[in-house]
A and B are shown apart, each in its own frame.
Chain A
Amino acid sequence: MPDLHELFDRSARAAGATLYWTTRAARLMVGVPDYETYVAHRRANHPNEPIMTYVEFFRERQQARYAVGKGRFRGCC
């Protein structure tokens, strides 16, 4: 039954997309932007410079989220 296959594929794609965007949103909520975007940016604009690994990137972002106070207020009211 091709209709069911089609429906299944479409649902799977929709579920995949939902998961992808939810994960991105959840990560940014805790201050970690998209790693792929970062890598793509470095490759395109700074081709011969080093690119942080995901772990380095994560640690750098974690440190930055709580770094020197100004402009990093959060969650009060």
Chain B
Amino acid sequence: MGATFNNSAWQTKVLWTAIALLGAVSFAIVALNRGEAVNAAWLVIAAVCVYFLAYRFYGLFVANRALGVDAARPTPARRHNDGLDYVPTNRYVLYGHHFAAIAGAGPLVGPVLAAQMGYLPGTLWILAGAVFAGAVQDMTVLFLSTRRDGRSLGDIVRAEMGPIAGTIAGIGILLICVIVLAVLALVVVKALVGSPWGTFAVFCTIPIALLMGIYNQFIRPGHIGEMSLIGCVLLLAALIYGRTVSETPALAAYFDFKGETLALIIIAYGFVASVLPVWLLLAPRDYLSTFLKIGTIALLAVGIIIVRPDLQMPAVTKFIDGSGPVWSGSVFPFLFITIACGAVSGWHSLIASGTTPKMIEDERQIAFIGYGGMLMESFVAIMAMIGASVIHPGVYFAMNSSAGLIGTTAEQAAQVISSWGFVVTPDEIAQMAKDVGETTIMSRTGGAPTLAVGMASILSSFLGGPTLMGIWYHFAILFEALFILTTVDAGTRVLRFMIQDLIGNAVPAFKETSSWTNNLIGSALSVALWGYFLFVGVIDPFGGIWTLWPLFGTANQMLAAIALTVCTVVLFKMKRERFALVTIAPATWLVVCTTTAGLEKVFSPDPNVGFISHALKYGDAIAAGQLLAPAKTLAEMTRIVVNDYIDATLAAVFVLVVVATVIYGLISIWKALASPQPTAIEIGLAGAVAGGRHA
């Protein structure tokens, strides 16, 4: 965009000054307004101004000066051009590809949970985190991978920091996969429990996908647009018919499940999807969910701009002290763990070292795709924050607090929540459930239903009015469930390959991915791993999300810390250490956050925060023969204790992985400083080097 204004420097200056002033004014309105409702438009304007300024003045600085992108250097797409994996691709097309690959449920759920502290703390972290940590990480990893034939993060760590650091990173990646799949599946279960309408619509995606798969394999192969259109129409039909299902008791009974049953169904489904040929179920669902995801995100953006709703949630609530009902823990470090994706997400480092680097046309486009892609993701998180903040705060807390805290009737809930200072009547809670076509909205934790209510109220106020509120609510649930379940399918396969690779080191025959025996065993192990955490989350008397989300956030930020550490190491090895602060600063912040959060989750004496003290509290009660709420039986008490110890172990492993990576990073930096010339292992300066696609 700079090119348009290049010929008159003063115009450029006026433009950027205007953007800066507009951003500052919007920010002042958002941050300083007290007592009056703030319009969401100010939040959007402030965020967009920040993104433009950040891209122009920081993103390009990091790319051009710190990393030193070089237009003269041929990219892997140019050197290995095969028309398939390695294809020089138009930068706007590639931006779409990259964004579609990084966008997922994370940036939608995290901000909703963080809204318990008010919209301001979360918003500030989403913006600052994306600009200084997330976007820098995505771009730098994309740069490193582009200079190494598109190798994966694990390979880069192994090559630049040694085999042991590589193995440690590999364990970290395996663990994050397990936790991500479990937590995301839990979000779906929480959204569908006792909701025949939602369950019916989500179940319908399976026969629809099978139909699309068969159509695409045998009837009209390769016609993606046609097939997706048929799928979308059928999906909308299922969504509309879902209301009839939920209003017909005989039909509704078939789709009214308890959490345990839903969890087992999803586990079984993940196994089947991992075993079946991809064209039949996985690919068509993937097409449907990708297009629906991009379409709905665009629709939500348009909705927010047209409706410009007021934010009902206060800027800051009293729960910044750490006593919140949605998740426990104070602003530092837990806010920075709760909003992982959307501010900085380690998961993106896996994608930025995946297919995108193999399609970069020119190194100068790395900033637009890597840094710019993450800014768009951050904007999705801002929209999720708006979605959670436009609904009545009392309703927000009724939806996101577990039944153990607010009870199971609207009267109890209204009383408890009003005592927290968010005055709400039982009627308001019951009315919201009625508006969206559900029997109850209480304790629908996990973020997805809250966001669905927010989206439904925004979208129905410009498309369809209150009568369509129920449709929009279930549309939002369907949209989130669809792409979470697609992640579960694809993730189960990825996990299966990683397990086969890991076990294959001991039993070489197990590495053969085309063997049916290996396929079945690998898939079973894979679903068993995440299925365990999912099931435990579902039967957790605290509601699962309360326990598991902090672990998920820690895992994701742990991976980001690993990625930023290897970025720092490579900057030193390239002898560009005078710029290394751009990755050292966010790496340090993430290491401090993850280790503090991890250690607090293990050792904190507050039983609401620390797993061990929580286990001891319940263990003591068992010894004394007492029952502690929300457990109702002694068996539940024992289960809580066992889970606490497993979760504590996991949190401790995360901390160890981070600490070990940092130690290996420091050793590599020390060696790099001792060497008089650059030691980074890059590929591609002196002619093409084959390979780079090995494990």
Contact = CB atoms under 8 A, between A and B. Distances in A.
A12 interface: no
A33 B289 CA distance: 19
A66 B280 CA distance: 12
A6 to B, nearest CB: 24
A31 B345 CA distance: 22
B100 A29 contact: yes
Q: Which 7 A-B pairs rank lowest in CB-CB distance, beginning with the nearest?
A: A77-B106, A77-B341, A69-B497, A38-B83, A58-B222, A41-B83, A25-B96
Contacts of B87: 33-34, 37-38, 41
B483 A75 contact: yes
14 contacts: A25-B96, A28-B94, A28-B97, A30-B283, A32-B224, A38-B87, A58-B222, A70-B501, A73-B350, A75-B102, A76-B104, A76-B347, A77-B342, A77-B556
Interface string A11-37: 000000000010111111111111001
Interface in A30-77: 30-34, 37-42, 45, 54-55, 57-66, 68-77
Contacts of A39: 83
B347 A73 contact: yes
Contacts of A24: 90, 93
Contact of B494 (A21, A29, A63, A69): A69
B152 A71 contact: yes
B490 interface: yes
B103 interface: yes
Contact of A66 (B100, B152, B282): B282
B225 interface: yes
A30 B290 contact: yes
A75 B101 contact: yes
Interface in B485-502: 486-487, 490-491, 493-498, 501
Residue among A54, A57, A65 with the highest chain B CB neighbour number at 10 A: A65
A21 B95 CA distance: 12
Contact of A68 (B81, B104, B513): B513
Interface string B491-522: 10111111001000000000001000000000
A37 B105 contact: no
Given A69-B501, A70-B498, A74-B490, 15 more contacts: A23-B225, A25-B96, A28-B93, A29-B291, A33-B84, A58-B222, A66-B282, A71-B353, A72-B494, A73-B350, A74-B487, A75-B104, A75-B487, A76-B487, A77-B345
Nearest to B150: A71
A3 to B, nearest CB: 26
Contacts of B82: 41
B411 to A, nearest CB: 38
B180 interface: yes
B279 interface: yes
B89 interface: yes
B351 interface: yes
Chain A interface mostly: helix
A33 B83 contact: yes
Interface in B93-145: 93-94, 96-97, 100-107
A68 B106 contact: no
A65 B283 contact: yes
Given A62-B278, A64-B84, A76-B104, A28 B487 contact: no
Contacts of B354: 71-74
Contact of B101 (A27, A64, A74): A74
Contacts of B291: 26, 29-30
Contact of B283 (A66, A74, A75, A77): A66
A32 B224 CA distance: 9
B107 A25 contact: no
Given A63-B278, A74-B101, A77-B347, A55 B222 contact: yes
Contacts of A27: 224
Interface residues of B, number: 69
B340 interface: yes
B83 A29 contact: no
A65 B495 CA distance: 15
A76 B184 contact: yes
Given A37-B87, A64-B85, A76 B180 contact: yes
B97 A25 contact: yes
B196 interface: no
Contacts of B355: 31, 71-72
Contact of A77 (B294, B340, B496): B340
B396 interface: no
A63 to B, nearest CB: 7
Contacts of A71: 150-152, 350, 353-355
A38 B84 contact: yes
A37 to B, nearest CB: 6
Given A68-B513, A77-B180, A60 B84 contact: yes
A77 B552 CA distance: 11
Nearest to B293: A75
A61 to B, nearest CB: 7
A62 B222 CA distance: 9
B695 interface: yes
B361 to A, nearest CB: 12
Given A38-B84, A77-B347, A77-B348, A30 B286 contact: yes
A65 B290 CA distance: 14
Nearest to B340: A77
Residue among A25, A37, A57, A71 with the highest chain B CB neighbour number at 10 A: A71
B221 interface: yes
Nearest to B495: A69
Residue among B82, B93, B340 with the highest chain A CB neighbour number at 10 A: B93
B287 interface: yes
Nearest to A69: B497
Interface string B157-201: 000000000000000000000001000100000000000000000
A55 B497 CA distance: 27
Contacts of B289: 75
Contacts of B290: 29-30, 75
B496 to A, nearest CB: 8
Nearest to A42: B83
B340 A21 contact: no
A38 B87 CA distance: 8
A24 to B, nearest CB: 5
Given A65-B283, A75-B104, A70 B180 contact: no
Contact of A55 (B96, B221, B293): B221
Contacts of A25: 92-93, 96-97
A70 B278 contact: no
Nearest to A63: B278
A44 B483 CA distance: 39
Contacts of B341: 76-77
A76 B556 CA distance: 10
Contacts of B154: 70
